[in-house]
Structure 1
């Protein structure tokens, strides 16, 4: 019975982080092809708090909600065409980034130092997915794909990695103290 309650709590938290990601997606700085948004901050927080399996689940739910047309993506957009467009690689990359960030923390420790490393890796994974997708979808050469898909996002991505780590570790500790999250999250 306790195992079912823990799983239900984790599913609820995953759903909450899908919703948080949708809200953070609306916080953006417009750029010509790919805007800077708050989504990656939410991805890092989800992974830092929930770990690999449930952090990735939150991002799968987020992507799925947008895919079926709910306006959860940046600029309150939704639909399969968004995933097929220039920003789709970043959205798919959120799933991989959340999984790898959480996995890194599960294999090391849920501390600020390791969270900073994990969230930096997660940011790079998101940028990698997004840039490869930009190159394919827009037919850009690598230098142009990097110019529009990576370089404008590195500095702000590092700031978001620091914030996701700091907020994520603090919230995780409080959820554990409140017995809403287990201290031991098993690697997927």
Structure 2
């Protein structure tokens, strides 16, 4: 068994943050909130590493955007992105990782990956909608219509892709290299 030191976990988290930034470049504008590859990357991160490493990856990603690197969807960065209309979705990435971390503690089996990702993605999308209510002064029904409904089917598709990819990665990664929770 390879012992993952705190430094090795931070390095892996940094690498995952870079992957998340790359996936954010996959953007389809569909209104106030774009459809992005970010949630696909977050689901994959949450599915293959412990919640602590996933949390560090999300934190590094948000810090990169905070200091001005154009890592968010649409190549945005800075405080405006972290507190603008899409901020709830960005901060919701932490919720996704933590929820999936709870499911990963019990098992890495397919049902746990499916339900954990569905629940994590759902809560992350709802966090984004709630932030729309606060920041864009939308009614809750308007926030659901613009910030949740358009993303339900894409979220399900992303969960399927995440589960397939996570299973493939976890099966190909020797047990000795897999991180324990």
Report the alpha carbon displacement of residue 32 of structure 1 after superposing the two structures with TM: 1.5
**What TM-score do you get using the length of structure 1 for normalisation?**
0.90
Task: Answer whether contact 1:10 1:50 (CA < 8 A) is retained.
Answer: no
Question: Quick one: which of 114, 117, 128 aligns to 1:116?
Answer: 114
Q: Tell me if structure 2 keeps the 8 A contact 1:14–1:57.
A: yes
Inter-partner Cα distance in structure 2 for 1:20 and 1:144: 32
Shift of 1:37: 0.2
Q: Which residue of 1 aligns with 2:34?
A: 35
Shift of 1:30: 0.6
Q: State the distance in 1 between where 2:78 and 2:95 align.
A: 20
Contact 1:51-1:99 within 8 A present in 2 as well: no
Give the CA deviation at 1:52: 1.2
Q: Scaled by the length of structure 2, what TM-score is found?
A: 0.94
Runs of 4+ in 1 over 4 A off after TM superposition: none
| Partners of 1:9 and 1:180 within 8 A in 2 | no
Aligned match of 1:78 = 77
Counterpart of 2:165 in structure 1 is 167
* Whole-angstrom distance in 1 between the partners of 2:120 and 2:20: 15
- Find the counterpart in structure 2 of residue 95 from structure 1: 94
Q: Is the 8 A contact 1:101 1:122 kept in 2?
A: yes
Gaps of 5+ in 2: none
RMSD over aligned Cα atoms? 1.4
Where structure 1 has 5 or more consecutive residues not aligned to the other structure, the ranges are: none
